[in-house]
Amino acid sequence: MSLTEMELDALGLSLQVASWSVATSLPVALLVAWLLARRHFPGKSVVNALVHLPLVLPPVVVGYVLLLLLGRNGAIGRFLDQAFGLTLAFTWQGAALAAAVMAFPLMVRAMRLSLESVDTRLESAARTLGAGRLRVFATVTLPLMAPGILVGAVLAFARSLGEFGATITFVSNIPGETRTMPLAIYTLVQTPGGDVAALRLAAISVVVAFAALAASEAYARRVRRHIGV
Amino acid sequence: MIPVLEIDAEKRLGELAMSVQLSCRAEGVIAIFGRSGAGKTTLVNMLAGLVRPDRGRISIAGTTLFDSGNGIDLPPERRRFGYVFQEGRLFPHLTVRSNLLYGHRLAPHGERRIDLEQVVALLGLENLLRRRPHDLSGGEKQRVALGRALLANPRFLLMDEPLASLDQPRKEEILFFIEKLRDEFAVPIVYVSHAMAEVVRLADTLVLMSDGRVEATGSLEELSTRLDLRPLTGRYEAGAVLPATVLGHDDRYGLSELQVPGGTLAVPRVEEAPGEDLRLRIRARDVAISRDAPTDSSFLNVLPCRIAEIAADPGAQVDIRLEMGPSSLWARITRRSVDRLGLQQGQPVYALVKAVAIDGQSLGRRRVRQRT
């Protein structure tokens, strides 16, 4: 069975949006996970709550807030437009941002858990061997966190692939620009006679999700064998 | 000039109020001895820069590592103290080889005088290099940890009970390697322990700690004669430590003869060749006292002495310090025997030492060096 052009468009766009969503949010999630796991600062519980908010809010609300803030007339949106010529509303970049925001708590949670399980005594040992803080983080902490980072990234990728509510609210449903797989499926379901095409897209989603999970599982197993835990 | 280690630091840690004043020569093996909870590990962590004192000053050979008055606190990576931890702390994600080289790569180029081949040969690590920490045995892990600390080319090695998690044969093995690296590389070692046998074997200088304080600092020989320190060195293990030289071996009976200041002793055969310097510990409970020289007894060692001190102890046992020429011996006998024999200070007596009471754990090789 070969894929139709519409299916390829939707699949390509979904993969693009999800990849950008993960790639851009990963460093931020790592920093936030580190702050939450290792630092004590005033307002920590507020930061923690904010990070987890997308998990409990209706996605439509998240999309609406993004639209208010980042839309052409939003405070941040206008600034981005004037300063960098970057438009997020109704573009695929906006879709990536919506997906990133929705997936952020999952990524942070996985990273934070793995960071908390890293033995700080190994980090002390590295420092006595002459490594500064940054080098210790890069050569000891990060490699030991690798399985957690991977789990976080895969969860975020899968969540991004499936993002619907925030996306459709923030960037609408524009074919070739913001119509990712879930939006395409939704559109087909709304169209008379679109059942078969919708089913085909759903099947493709399942295959992609399985592939991502299997790849991450294989990699995690290799890393675990490496570290011996 | 001999480098000096100076510590004057305070730290509050929960119940324990550390207040450490210490000044000693930074050479050979400095053993920090005390019960668990005495603050030994905290002291070593303060040296390494892993625990920050609340107040005070730490310097070594004129370099200030910490000075609360001047706001100096050198981070651990710049102190260059190799640290061998109780639990090894090898990096699980790296091979043995990468573990060994972790600190080596970070040492300043001009100061990499110890290289991988030397350490691998010294510690017998040839077959472990490609393995990973999780499939090493406890003894192998500690050997790698020793090598890793040594390869960082540190100014000082810190060892925090490196034998604590090992069984007796492994302890022997690691002790042997520690002796080797002490003798081959002129890196001073701070060795934390609560086992007197390890201290006797390794230490040149003894630092006695109790309740967060340094109670005494000095040579092992010197401190072992002090009655006031007896509660700290441990009652069961208490005894005298003497410098000894191997005089010769008696292969027929498997014995060796040792020269100690003021006398000679027969002991079970030692490894060292005649002329080698040893440190010998004779536990008080292995020494008996007789008023006359016994003729028909199994005691090989009958040493004429004089009673120097009788500990005022109300218990059933009494510790007695005996002077044998310039040396001191300790004898632990019952109060009943003291009364029956009518022992008094200044009285000439014979110390009876069972040769078999002296084993490998009572001996240490002395580092021969010039005392200035």
Mean pLDDT of chain A: 91
Torsion B212-B217-B221-B227 (CA) sign:
negative
Query: Residue B30: what pLDDT?
Result: 93
Asked if A132 is an interface residue toward chain B (Cβ–Cβ < 8 A), one would say yes
Q: Could you tell me if B156 lies within 8 Å of chain A, comparing CB atoms?
A: no
Number of Cβ atoms within 10 Å of the Cβ of B103: 25
User: What is residue A105's predicted lDDT score, i.e. its pLDDT?
Assistant: 96
Q: Flag if B93 and A128 touch (Cβ within 8 Å).
A: no
Query: How many beta-carbon pairs below 8 A join chains A and B?
Result: 72
Task: Taking residues A78-100, report their average pLDDT.
Answer: 90
Note the pLDDT of residue B370.
35
- The beta strand positions in chain A, using DSSP E, are none
- Check residue B367 and report its DSSP letter: P
Q: In this predicted structure, what is the pLDDT of residue B369?
A: 44
Q: Rounded distance, CA B280 to CA B289, Å?
A: 19
Give the pLDDT of residue B368. 47
> Quick check: ipTM above 0.90?
no
pLDDT per residue of chain B (372 residues) written in tens, 0 to 9: 678 899 999 999 888 889 999 998 888 899 999 888 889 999 999 999 999 999 999 999 888 999 999 999 999 999 999 999 998 899 999 999 999 999 999 988 888 888 899 899 988 899 999 999 998 998 999 999 999 999 999 989 999 999 988 888 888 888 888 888 888 888 899 999 988 888 888 888 999 999 999 999 988 878 877 767 777 776 666 788 888 899 999 999 999 999 998 889 999 998 888 988 888 888 888 999 999 888 888 888 999 999 998 887 778 888 899 999 888 898 999 999 999 999 999 999 999 998 888 877 778 776 544 333
pLDDT for B1 equals 62
Q: What's the whole-number mean pLDDT along residues A117-135?
A: 95
The strands making up B72-73's β-sheet, listed across from edge to edge, are: B72-73, B63-67, B55-60, B4-13, B16-25, B213-219, B205-210, B29-33, B189-193, B156-160, B81-84
Handedness of CA A199, A201, A205, A207 (dihedral sign): positive
Q: What is the pTM of this model?
A: 0.81
pLDDT: which is higher, B293 or A97: A97
Residues in B touching A226 (Cβ below 8 Å): 93, 132
A contacts of B77 (beta carbons < 8 Å): 127-132
For residue A134, is pLDDT > 90? yes
The tens digit of pLDDT for each residue in A4-61 reads: 888 888 999 999 999 999 999 999 999 999 999 999 999 999 999 999 999 999 999 9
B48, B79, B93: residue with CB nearest A144: B93
The residue type found at A205 is: S
List the structure tokens of B156.
């000082």
- Taking the C-alpha atoms of residue B275 and residue B294, their distance in angstroms, rounded to an integer, is 30
Position A173 confidence tier, pLDDT thresholds 50, 70, 90: very high
Q: Which of B43, B58, B63 is nearest to B207 (CA)?
A: B43
Could A128 and B83 be called an inter-chain contact, meaning their C-beta atoms sit closer than 8 Å? yes
In sequence order, the β-bridge partners of residue B41 are none
What confidence score (pLDDT) does residue B361 get?
72
pLDDT band at A1 (very low <50, low <70, confident <90, very high): low
- Contacts A126 to B, Cβ<8 Å: 91, 102
Q: What is the pLDDT of residue A89?
A: 85
Q: Is A225 on the interface with B (CB under 8 A)?
A: no
Q: What are the φ/ψ torsions at residue B337 (nearest 5 degrees)?
A: -65, -40
